[in-house]
Amino acid sequence: VVIDVLRATTTMAVMFHRGLESLLAVEDIEAAHRAREASSDALLFGERHGLKPEGFDYGNSPAEAAALDLHGRHAIHATTNGTRALCAVAGGQGVVVAAALVNASAVAEFSRTFESVTLVCAGNGGANQFSLEDYATAATIAQDIHAHCPDAELGDGALLSMQIAEPAGLVARGTHADVLREFGFDDDLEFALRKDEAGCVPVVRSCGPGWAVLERA
């Protein structure tokens, strides 16, 4: 379960909730442009330093995506940490999904059908730094799974999460939330906090170095 709640995986969940057929996640703007050349009817979403890159249709904005009708459409989504985290865990034996608060309950319900669940926080700063918002989202999902499967064995990160009252509220209290406020992305931040607003589970269908294709589970 890969979490990059501000904003990549929130935007992904919202896109599928708005009817998206498939999503190609890529690590950088150049890869996104190359993918669009090969698939000209795909919509281009993404960011560079928080902003919509030149030639892109949309930013990496859940609030913006929520206003779109994406039924039957295909998207290319350029996002650094989110894609890196998806690629880092995809390609192994497990099933990889993208999670945020907007699809937390759906992801928890989906995850409960598996024997083992690993929650992966994408993190900040090239993924080296602990991010409060990703951990808070993981804690929300871990608490949900634990409530339904009280006998499940917990790893140390999940054990810690059981100590936290209302983790979802912490998504807006980390350093990256402040960065988004500085950029003027208050709408996205507010949207990212709407638990279960977009109850879709995006799942990785195929992947390679620097890219992953997701569809609805």
Q: Which residues contribute to the site for its own copies (CB under 8 A)?
A: 124, 129-133, 135-136, 155-157, 159-160, 163-165, 170, 173-176
**Whose Cβ is closer to its own copies: residue 44's or residue 122's?**
122
**Whose Cβ is closer to its own copies: residue 67's or residue 159's?**
159
What's the CA gap between 45 and 53, in Å, rounded?
A: 9
Residue 15: CA count within 13 A, CB half-sphere = 34
Going by C-alpha positions, the residue among 185, 181, 138 that lies closest to residue 162 is 138
What's the CA gap between 173 and 178, in Å, rounded?
A: 8
Q: Smallest gap, in angstroms, from Cβ of residue 129 to its own copies?
A: 7
**Whose Cβ is closer to its own copies: residue 179's or residue 203's?**
179
Number of H helices, E strands in the chain: 9, 8
Q: Smallest gap, in angstroms, from Cβ of residue 176 to its own copies?
A: 8
Q: Smallest gap, in angstroms, from Cβ of residue 132 to its own copies?
A: 4
- Decide: 152 and 146 in contact? Cβ < 8 Å: yes
Which residue bears the tokens 């918002």? 133
**Whose Cβ is closer to its own copies: residue 82's or residue 202's?**
82
Burial 63-92 (b: 16+ CB within 10 A, else e): bbbbebebeebbbbbbbbbbbbbbbebbee
Query: From its phi and psi, is residue 72 left (phi > 0), alpha (psi between -120 and 50) or beta?
Result: left
**Whose Cβ is closer to its own copies: residue 14's or residue 132's?**
132
In this structure, the chain runs to a length of 217
Q: Smallest gap, in angstroms, from Cβ of residue 20 to its own copies?
A: 30
Q: Smallest gap, in angstroms, from Cβ of residue 169 to its own copies?
A: 10
Q: Smallest gap, in angstroms, from Cβ of residue 140 to its own copies?
A: 13
**Whose Cβ is closer to its own copies: residue 129's or residue 206's?**
129
